[in-house]
Structure 1
Amino acid sequence: MRLAVCAEMVFTDLPLVERVERIHQRGFDVEIWDHTTKDVDALIATGATFSSMTGYVHGSLTHDQDQLLKTAEQSIEVAHRLGCPRLNLHGTELGEGGLPVRPQYGVTGEMWLAAAKTLARLAELGAANDVMFVLENLNTEVDHPGVPFAKAADTLALVAAVDHPNLRLMFDLYHAQIGEGNLIALLRKAAPFIGEIQVADVPGRCEPGTGEINYPAIAAVLRELGYEGTVGLEAFAHSDSELALRRFADAFGGTVRLEDI
């Protein structure tokens, strides 16, 4: 497994480029969110390996689909510059604080069909441009009320229905624990469709070892399943970012370059 760290959530007292440099120096790949808020040239200059980034700016799986595709194309251009292989998607456009721009508290059959068609278009776009789109599950109880297709069961159903190698799951275990629980069974079911895994503990959305999720057991199941992809820390530091990275590495059998700390 490769280990990545989301630069948006650790070393938050530093400018983002310096966060990326620190994460890279400590031996991790880097995740980022919206590219439109970033100095892409400065990110490239860090020499970091980028694991994933947000793959759209505006639009939704069920409305404004052309806008979604347009901003996905723009995101692909930035991903190519960064050498970033995975572009993250959500059930709908997210705005300030991770809240949906257009909340939807019920999902109709027509919306399911529209979402699957949009994801199929994105998968073909990914294939034409040698990138993978990954659809992330979210929780609606704490962080993202009003997001459709939020649960891991929903995202898995959509990805499996499209069944395209350039569309996979961004399987977020923090969100799944809040929304569904039963993480190991979910992992086993989702395994053939996972593009990347994200982790944080519950409650608090901090690093492994600070809450109720048994991440060493999760790591053991991933090894049993033969998972060789990326696990990304998308979590706030409970007390100290350096300690958060060490705890993350310990949970998944990775190493931190201690000489740089």
Structure 2
Amino acid sequence: MTSQAVASPFTLAVSAEMVFLDRPFAERVRRIHELGFQVEIWDWTRHDLGALESLREEGVVFSSMTGYVRGRLGDAEGAEELLATAAESVPVAKRLGIPRLNLHGTGLDDRGLPVRAEPVETGPMWLTAQRTLGRIGELGEREDVMFVLENLNTAVDHPGVPFATAADCLALVESVDSAHLGLMLDLYHAQIGEGNLIELCRRALPWIGEIQVADVPGRCEPGTGEIAYPAIARALVELGYTGPVGLEGFASGDDELALERFRTAFTP
């Protein structure tokens, strides 16, 4: 299957961590690019950066990556670790031309579970998280990159992660009020945890750095579950959003067909 020249009003990206899983990573990246999408990656320490840099020279555009290696938002020790590994991540992002560096409330293991589960956020944790993200915004300003805080769901994929909901992430991002700290609004996670997605997009619009999508249940491409993504796409156009939309989901069957379904859903 070859990509079709379909004009989406959004910049469409696909996570190479979740599709074409039968191929080596560099081949996944190349095929996503050939099909007309930007490419998202996760933990840069697990990849051959030389190979990814060569792919960039071929024309691959990387949309986002995980912007830290270890650390947590809500306690002093974890905050220092998060800030240190965020600083280590910036040169990698610049090497690969990646404009957005993704953060979570705490470090995640290989299964997406928190390295330290903290299902209840205390007042001191909130204050520490706000201060930590303020320093992240300062780092982003110094280095001219954007960090984005991603919401997660705790019911299915990420139990025990603090500051997980879109409402929590938005509150923190708003309170910091930095041009270099935005929201990675993941609508798959938000549907499980909160719902009311179009209103959520409207509320979060000034702070959105990127939107990520997958359907519910199953975390596969749009059209495989309950979320009316074409309606969300139309609403985003009406709201004036023309930024990046990334598929962070698995293919329900054929990978290339899944990517075309994603493209179609976001070409209102």
TM-score computed with the length of structure 1 as normaliser: 0.96
In structure 2, the partner of 1:38 is 47
RMSD: 0.8
Q: Which residue does 1:60 correspond to in 2?
A: 72
- The one of 177, 183, 187 aligned to 2:201: 187
Percent of aligned positions with the same letter in both sequences? 67
Superposition pairs for residues 35-114 of structure 1, below 5 Å? 35-46=44-55, 47-63=59-75, 64-114=78-128
Q: Find the residue that maps to 1:30 and give its secondary structure.
A: strand
Secondary structure at the aligned position of 2:111 is classed as helix
Partner residue in 2 for 1:154: 168
Count residues with an aligned counterpart: 254
Distance 2:256 2:65 in 1: 22
Q: What amino acid sits opposite 2:223 in the alignment?
A: G
The C-alpha deviation readout for 1:48-101, integer Å capped at 9, x for no partner, is 101000000011101321111111011101000000000000011111200000
| Counterpart residue number, 1:258 | none
User: What does residue 136 of structure 2 align with?
Assistant: 122
After TM superposition, the score normalised by the length of structure 2 is 0.94
The answer to whether 1:163 aligns with 2:177 is yes
Name 2:228's counterpart in structure 1: 214
Structure 2: gaps (5+ residues): 1-9
Aligned runs of 1:242-261 on 2, under 5 Å? 242-253=256-267
Q: Distance in 1 between matches of 2:119 and 2:211?
A: 26
* 2:38 aligns with one of 14, 19, 29: 29
Hey, what's the Cα distance between the residues in 2 that align with 1:214 and 1:103? 32
TM-superposed deviation, 1:137: 0.2
Report the AA paired with residue 43 of structure 1.
Answer: L
Cα displacement (A) at 1:166:
0.3
Which SS does the other structure have where 2:250 is aligned? Answer: coil
Query: What is the aligned counterpart of 2:149 among 118, 122, 135?
Result: 135
Q: Which runs of 5+ in 1 are unaligned?
A: 255-261
